[in-house]
Amino acid sequence: MDLVITPVIQSLIVPFKKHLHFLVSSTRYVNEMKKKMEELNVTEQDILEKKSTADANNHEVSHHVSPCLEDVKKMNEKAQSIPTRGIGCFNVTKRYKTRKRSYTILNEIKALNERLSEINWTNEQKSLAKVPSTSSPFPS
């Protein structure tokens, strides 16, 4: 009987421990999210400078740059939407939700940072666009 109950109890404890961690972790996730968001904003500034330099030198810019920069803006909005005040000891529900959301955003920031680090910068010149002609220069 003990061989059946022990695995069942252990499998139930894992999700419970995860949720309990959100309650007792104090403001750890919120502070870590803020720190990672600051780092992400520095990376964004780096990319904006590189993009500006590439544009000024007529160099090709990866098509991933603009969507990634847009995602950084959205991430900033998400991070700023999390309340950092009023998550004291007595408001358990608010504290739990805040920590869980900040944990989720923290993981999204890490994934976005990985995408940003994969952007390749090149010194390749932009190709000149060919203007399609609608009429023939020669009479028919």
Residue 106 covered by a domain: yes
Q: How many domains does the chain have?
A: 1
Q: What is the pLDDT of residue 131?
A: 34
Residue 125 covered by a domain: no
Burial class (CB in 10 A: 0-12, 13-18, 19+), 45: exposed
Residue 131 covered by a domain: no
Residue pair 64/70 in contact by the 8 Å Cβ criterion: no
> CA-CA distance, 130 to 109, in Å (whole number)?
40
Percent of the chain with pLDDT over 70: 68
Q: What is the pLDDT of residue 22?
A: 56
Residue 58 identity: N
Higher pLDDT, 43 or 133: 43
Summarize pLDDT for 21-72 with one digit per residue, the tens: 555 565 788 889 999 999 999 999 999 999 999 888 888 888 889 999 999 9
Residue 136 covered by a domain: no
Residue 91 covered by a domain: yes
**How many CA atoms are closer than 13 Å to the CA of 20, on its beta-carbon side?**
6
127 pLDDT more than 80: no
Residue pair 54/61 in contact by the 8 Å Cβ criterion: yes
Residue 62 covered by a domain: yes
Residue 139 covered by a domain: no
Q: What is the pLDDT of residue 132?
A: 43
Residue pair 94/86 in contact by the 8 Å Cβ criterion: yes
Cα 65 to the center of its chain, rounded Å: 14
Residue 1 covered by a domain: no
pTM for the structure as a whole: 0.68
The domain of 27 spans: 9-117
**How many CA atoms are closer than 13 Å to the CA of 36, on its beta-carbon side?**
22
Alpha helices per DSSP H over the chain: 2-24, 28-56, 65-80, 92-117
Summarize pLDDT for 66-121 with one digit per residue, the tens: 999 999 999 999 999 887 665 555 677 777 788 888 889 999 999 999 999 888 88
Q: What is the pLDDT of residue 130?
A: 37
Residue 128, helix vs strand vs coil: coil
Residue 48, helix vs strand vs coil: helix
